[in-house]
Amino acid sequence: MDADARFAEFVAERGDALLRYGYMLAGNPHDAADLVQEALLKLRGAWPRLRRKENPESYARTTMARLHIATWRLRRRELLAWELPELEHHDRLPGGDERRMWQALAGLPRKQRAVLVLRYYEQLDDAEIAAVLGISRGTVRSQAARALDKLRAAVPAEPMTRGNAR
- Residues 131 and 65 both lie in one domain: no
103 pLDDT exceeds 50?
yes
- Residues 1 and 72 both lie in one domain: yes
Q: Rounded distance, CA 72 to CA 65, Å?
A: 11
- Residues 72 and 101 both lie in one domain: no
Q: Rounded distance, CA 134 to CA 70, Å?
A: 11
Residue 165 forms part of a structural domain: no
For residue 22, the model assigns a pLDDT of 93
pLDDT tier, 77 (very low <50, low <70, confident <90, very high otherwise): low
For residue 57, give the nearest of 21, 27, 25, 31 by alpha carbon.
21
pTM over 0.85: no
- Residues 151 and 103 both lie in one domain: yes
- Residues 66 and 99 both lie in one domain: no
Residue 164 forms part of a structural domain: no
- Residues 62 and 101 both lie in one domain: no
- Residues 1 and 55 both lie in one domain: yes
Give the domain-ending residue among 76, 103, 120.
76
Give the domain-ending residue among 76, 107, 134.
76
Residue 52 forms part of a structural domain: yes
For residue 126, the model assigns a pLDDT of 94
Comparison of pLDDT for 14 and 166, the residue scoring more: 14
For residue 55, the model assigns a pLDDT of 81
157 pLDDT exceeds 90?
no
pLDDT tier, 41 (very low <50, low <70, confident <90, very high otherwise): very high
How many domains are there within the chain? Answer: 2
pLDDT tier, 125 (very low <50, low <70, confident <90, very high otherwise): very high
Give mean pLDDT, residues 5-22. Answer: 92
Give the domain-ending residue among 43, 76, 109.
76
Query: Domain of 122?
Result: 94-158
CATH code assigned at 4: 1.10.1740
Residue 147 forms part of a structural domain: yes
- Residues 60 and 99 both lie in one domain: no
38 pLDDT exceeds 60?
yes
Give mean pLDDT, residues 139-152. Answer: 93
- Residues 60 and 116 both lie in one domain: no
Mean model confidence pLDDT for the chain: 81
For residue 21, give the nearest of 64, 50, 53, 56 by alpha carbon.
64
Q: How does 9-27 read in b/e, with b if 16+ C-beta sit within 10 Å? A: ebbeebeeebbebbbbbbb
pLDDT tier, 95 (very low <50, low <70, confident <90, very high otherwise): low
